[in-house]
Structure 1
Amino acid sequence: MPAQMSDILPALLSPVTHAVAAVLAATHDVAGAIGLSPGSAGAWLLAILLLVVAVRTVLLPVTVHGVRSSHARAHAAPQLRQLRQRYAGNRDLDQLTAMRAEQKAIHAEHGVSGWSLAPALLQLPLFYALYRVVSDLTAGQSVGHAVGALDAGLVASASAASVAGLHLTSHLGATAASNPVAGLALVAVALGAAALSLLTQRWFVLPMVDVADLPEGMATVQRLMPWLGAVGVLAAAVFVPAGLVVYWFFNNAWTFAQQGLIWRFAPTPGSPAAARREATALEGAGS
């Protein structure tokens, strides 16, 4: 039974894995078309970068929906605050049912959606799929078979390409033991990915969160999230292939830029970022 359960996830996500392999093969073709040697590390790094661009571009409508949802929740917040105050301490089942009905009506009035976390959730299958693709590259190289749309030649090319001895299929422990330079290179990429995650959360995400209505415990957790995310990236980098760490670096760079634009041009109403934007606008009008 455990073996059967372990086969369920790969089977369910097999279409996503094949799609990631197909897109990676296509982006590698693009890298070759612009003049990079197909077997070079530069071609495969560009292929991973273009994979990130393709994935995040597809997710842009979901991201826009998430921004609109956060704005809707902010507009609904005063009414929800009054609702909670009105029913504070009430334990009557009928009254609680009425409160939930009113809460639902307020959400509907402002268009509050529960899908604001969709961009992050939708990327989880993609991370797993890329992990499977990069992991299968090692097996594919050893037996000379294809990995989805990546034929045997592309598998051999991706597995052989390296920077300072660092391959897409390298793992930190074994690499650091056999090639300290390559190990340091992978550590640098992981640190870069973690730093981008930390700075995104601290500079652009936290300033768009109004913690005034949150319990102190939840507010504390909210403030710790940037550090927890960065530590999570570093911890995961110990176990996953280098190709996935590179993907995280490019993906986190995209997130950094994207959240910076949202923070600058569409901050959540009522948040410190929105207050900063309004103050800047008033200073500009006054001058």
Structure 2
Amino acid sequence: MDLFKILYPIEWVVAWIMVQFHALFRILGLNPASGAAWALSIVGLVVVIRVMLIPLFVRQIRASRGMQLLAPEMQAIQKKYKGKSDPASREAMSRETMELYKKHNTNPLASCLPILAQSPIFFALFRVLNSLQNIASGQQDPIGVMTKELASQAEKATLFGAPLSSTFVKAADLGSLAGNVRFVTILLIVAMSITTFTTQRQLTMKNMPASALQGPMAQQQKMLLYVLPLVFAFSGVNFPIGVLIYWTTTNVWSMGQQFYTIRRMPAPGSEAERMLKERQARKGKVQGQVSAGPELPAIEEPARGQRVQPKRKDRQKKRAPGEGPSTDSGMSEESSDPDDGEAGSTGTTKPKK
């Protein structure tokens, strides 16, 4: 049983998307038999797939941040069980590690989700391009809407003189086209390796806190930074040019998408966060200068001199023992007469003469 038969539904979808984009570019005026029309169809396939994978990309970013933030705690666990190889210690270390992943709501597998999800599509496209010659010659049934005529057209389409279905290792079988195939293959492999390196570097160097750049995990990531481009370089000679176009395009998409995400939502404590705060500070300063508005009229302050003490109401005078109730601030008109005053002092009324 051919294990790759399980990819047939994905091959059907890949072929359908390519044919739809090919029809679109034909309507826009491109020659349907040209390599540009079929190469752009592969680029359109990348756009559709990457848009569908945006939720997985968001999970990947969150998982990567979680792995970065738990790096100091992970180092502490590794230091705690360093040199202990007994089963109990290994079990305890595994348990604490899983609890740490649960605490930060992340795991190492989540950061690989987009790559894992694209792997079936990658192999499906590989098989579609490899099947073009057999479909065109009638040795294989069409793949969905990829009919015999379309397969023959795509199989003969060239990009800079190199057929999209050709590979570097089989370039010698193409005679005069061998040089073009090798040139285009090497060009795409270099572009694929550079974009892979740049994408990994901006993720590890700019979007990681200083604490996460130390320890065994950081050393492994730095090693992958240089190993992955070499892996693509050595394996790329076996891939058809159409597959190299797919992988280079998806790397460019990942690089741009990741650049936007890191610039807008950097990891706490990373170099990207420091640069974001600097941009926000400069932007705030400029906005403050622009929105200052017209000058307000000056407010005149009163002349400063001797302080004027506030006036207070007269307080009631203290009464001596035996005195009657005191009046308010002054006497009434009736008690202002001296005679009345004498009468008031004796408590009797003096008759008038």
| In 2: Cα distance, 1:220 partner to 1:76 partner | 16
1:67 aligns with 2:67: no
1:44 aligns with 2:38: yes
Q: Percent identity?
A: 27
TM-score computed with the length of structure 1 as normaliser: 0.83
TM-score computed with the length of structure 2 as normaliser: 0.69
Q: Which one has a bigger Cα radius of gyration? A: 2
Give the deviation of 1:61 after TM superposition: 0.3
| In 2: Cα distance, 1:26 partner to 1:80 partner | 49
Give the deviation of 1:117 after TM superposition: 0.8
Higher helix share: 1
Give the deviation of 1:244 after TM superposition: 0.7
1:198-228 per-residue CA deviation (whole Å, 9 max, x = no partner) reads 222234444334544422xx54442232332
Supply the AA of the counterpart residue of 2:234.
A
Give the deviation of 1:187 after TM superposition: 2.1
Unmatched runs of 5 consecutive residues or more in structure 2: 287-353
Equivalent residue number for residue 58 of structure 1: 52
Q: For 2:111, what is the secondary structure of its paired residue?
A: coil
1:255-270 matched pairs, under 5 angstroms: 255-270=254-269
Supply the AA of the counterpart residue of 1:137.
L
1:161 aligns with 2:144: no
| In 2: Cα distance, 1:100 partner to 1:187 partner | 44
Number of matched pairs: 279
Which deviates further from its counterpart, 194-203 or 55-64?
Answer: 194-203
Q: 1:178 aligns with which of 173, 176, 179?
A: 176
| In 2: Cα distance, 1:141 partner to 1:222 partner | 45
Equivalent residue number for residue 148 of structure 2: 152
1:208 aligns with 2:202: no
Is the contact between residue 137 and residue 147 of structure 1 (CA under 8 Å) also seen in structure 2? no
Equivalent residue number for residue 244 of structure 2: 245
Aligned-residue CA RMSD (Å) = 2.8
Supply the AA of the counterpart residue of 2:120.
P
Q: For 1:116, what is the secondary structure of its paired residue?
A: helix
| In 2: Cα distance, 1:150 partner to 1:26 partner | 10
Is the contact between residue 167 and residue 181 of structure 2 (CA under 8 Å) also seen in structure 1? no
Supply the AA of the counterpart residue of 1:156.
S
Give the deviation of 1:182 after TM superposition: 4.2
1:76-117 per-residue CA deviation (whole Å, 9 max, x = no partner) reads 444444555555555675565455444434433332244221
Unmatched runs of 5 consecutive residues or more in structure 1: none
| In 2: Cα distance, 1:271 partner to 1:282 partner | 17
Greater relative contact order (CA < 8 Å, ≥ 6 in sequence): 1
| In 1: Cα distance, 2:55 partner to 2:110 partner | 12
Is the contact between residue 206 and residue 270 of structure 2 (CA under 8 Å) also seen in structure 1? yes
Is the contact between residue 19 and residue 146 of structure 2 (CA under 8 Å) also seen in structure 1? yes
Equivalent residue number for residue 337 of structure 2: none
Is the contact between residue 147 and residue 155 of structure 1 (CA under 8 Å) also seen in structure 2? no
Supply the AA of the counterpart residue of 1:46.
L
Supply the AA of the counterpart residue of 2:138.
V
Equivalent residue number for residue 115 of structure 1: 110
Structure 1 stretches of 4+ with a deviation exceeding 6 A read: none
19 and 206 in structure 1: CA distance in 2 versus 1, 3 angstrom threshold: farther
Which deviates further from its counterpart, 175-184 or 145-154?
Answer: 175-184
Supply the AA of the counterpart residue of 1:199.
T
Q: For 1:251, what is the secondary structure of its paired residue?
A: helix
| In 1: Cα distance, 2:200 partner to 2:189 partner | 17
Q: For 1:133, what is the secondary structure of its paired residue?
A: helix
214 and 254 in structure 1: CA distance in 2 versus 1, 3 angstrom threshold: same
Give the deviation of 1:194 after TM superposition: 1.9
1:131-165 per-residue CA deviation (whole Å, 9 max, x = no partner) reads 10000012112227523321112111111211332
Q: For 1:117, what is the secondary structure of its paired residue?
A: helix
